[in-house]
Amino acid sequence: MASASDSDKPSGSKEEESRSRLCEEFAAITGTDSNAAQSYLFINGWEKQKALNSFFEADMEGIFEDFDLPQRDSCPETKKKNWEEEKPAEPSVDLTKDSPASSGKPSEEDDCKLSVISWNVDGLDTDNLGERARGLFSFLVLYTPDVVLLQELIPPYVHYLKKRAVSYLLIEGGEEGYFTGIMLKRSRVKLVESQIVTYPTTRMMRNLLVAQVDFNGQKLWLMTSHFESCKAHSAERMKQLRVVKQRMKGAPYDVTVLFGGDTNLRDYELTKVGLPASVCDVWERLGKQEHCRWTWDTKANNNNNAPYVSRCRFDRVFFRPAIKDGVPRLAPDHMALVGLEKLDCGRFISDHWGIYCSFSAG
């Protein structure tokens, strides 16, 4: 008769199935192949979180110098040549001033306009990450957006942004692995409260980051998320959309709500779940302009060297204006894709295009 401990052990087939599933989840989160996933999981006793921490810590070691992070000098006589030695040091930049694209004092109309960038910056791809992060920073200098909604941040990327973009407050949606973030221009947007909403059944460390802020005397709820990736995780992705939908719908009537992020949504998934009548998809509201349709486009973006053509509108912006009488109402008035130009390294800032939107008082 088998002992109690023996009977609790999974059968060979169940154990293989469990480990195969762990490999798939690890590969989806880290962007590695099944062999690398199996290696990290085996070394870490098939504990997924432990294996993920091991992977990200090892991966970050290789890019520390690109981000000018403190390094231990194992050889006092010979210091590593780092990114700051190869390129002139970038000063911290005060982005509260006028955009270089404009001149003179902003008009009262511009002062009431809300500008937003939403971007999956693909921090999990560590190739040329230093130059790609500088590319993102250059867009912040050029556009000086009031709000920046970011996905796939990793700790070194956060460190870099905090060091360079000193006139922004950066709210993090996590601490380990990869996560989302919201940047607020300190001179224009005041944080009231922030919250991380968990997705109970996510297998990819995904959540919803919410920031309640004050903008020009108006109450705003800002939201960003990175929904579950890959076609096979459609059901989980729609669950996550329902969480966002409920949060937007349940916001007080005197609050303007803005969500931007990498939803990974297919059109049929959005149609199946639907949006509240008060919430719009900004791209659709502005006339479904073709030049803004594809935010994931392997035909134009070769960062992943994909052997196939895939054009999807994964990145979306949803908006619900305040609906209480007497409260100023914002409305979307402009949308454009950003990051379409290659950097000197021959790659783009990300494998996603960023979305720039502006909203004016209606």
Domain containing 178 — which CATH number? 3.60.10.10
**Distance between CA atoms of residues 210 and 133, nearest Å:** 24
Q: Are residues 34 and 96 in the same domain?
A: no
Residue 356 located in a structural domain: yes
* Residue where the block lists tokens 């909604």: 149
Of 253, 244, 254, the closest CA to residue 275 belongs to 244
- Tens of pLDDT, residues 263-322: 999 999 999 999 999 999 999 999 999 999 999 999 999 999 999 999 999 999 999 999
Same domain flag for 38 and 136: no
Greatest extent of the chain over all pairs of C-alpha atoms, in Å: 86
- The pLDDT confidence band at residue 64, using thresholds 50, 70 and 90, is very low
The amino acid present at 298, given as its one-letter code, is T
Based on the domain organization, do 253 and 141 belong to the same domain?
A: yes
CB 186 within 8 A of CB 168: yes
Best CA proximity match to 63, nearest among 166, 119, 132: 132
Are 48 and 120 in a shared domain? no
| Judgement on whether residues 40 and 99 belong to the same structural domain of the protein | no
Give me the number of domains the chain comprises: 2
55 and 109 in one domain? no
85-116 tens-digit pLDDT: 334 445 565 654 444 443 334 444 578 899 99
Of 237 and 39, the structure prediction assigns the larger pLDDT to: 237
CA distances from 204 to 35, 153, 226, 324 (A): 19, 14, 10, 37
Domain around 51: 13-61
Pair of tokens at residue 259 = 């969500």
Note whether 227 and 241 are within 8 A (CB): yes
Is 207 inside any structural domain?
A: yes
Q: For residue 1, is pLDDT > 70?
A: no
* Residue 307 is assigned to a structural domain of this protein: yes
* Residues shown for the chain: 362
**Three-state secondary structure call for residue 317:** strand
Q: Write the CA distances from 292 to 119, 186, 195, 283, 287, integer angstroms.
A: 14, 29, 30, 7, 10
Q: Which two tokens stand for residue 326?
A: 């007497």
CA distance 7 to 310: 48
E strand intervals along 239-289? 255-262, 280-281
pTM: 0.79
Flag whether 256 is in a domain.
yes
Q: Report yes or no on 57 lying in a domain.
A: yes
Catalytic residue among 66, 122, 262, 351: 262
For residue range 182-211, what is the model confidence (pLDDT) as tens digits? Answer: 999 999 999 999 999 999 999 999 999 999
User: Which 3 state secondary structure label does DSSP give 197?
Assistant: strand
Q: Indicate whether 290 and 185 sit together in one domain.
A: yes
Closest residue by Cα to residue 168 from 182, 184, 151 = 184
Selection from 44, 42, 65, 63 nearest residue 53 by Cα: 44
The residue type found at 263 is: T
Same domain, 297 and 228: yes
Q: Are residues 93 and 44 in the same domain?
A: no
Q: Is residue 169 part of a domain?
A: yes
Residue type, 142: L
Higher pLDDT, 26 or 343: 343
Q: Lowest mean pLDDT of 38-52, 119-133, 234-248, name the range.
A: 38-52
pLDDT at 110: 72
- Does residue 120 sit in the same domain as residue 248? yes
Calculate the CA 155 to chain-centre distance.
Answer: 13
What is the C-alpha to C-alpha distance for residues 263 and 274, in angstroms, rounded to an integer? 14
Residues 157, 31 within the same domain: no
Domain of 39: which CATH number? 1.10.8
Residue 3, domain member (yes or no) = no
Determine the pLDDT at residue 47.
87
Quote the tokens at residue 238. 């729609």
Shared-domain flag, residues 31 and 132: no
Q: Give domain status of residue 26, yes or no.
A: yes
262 is catalytic: yes
Strands 330-338 and 354-361: antiparallel
- 9 pLDDT more than 90: no
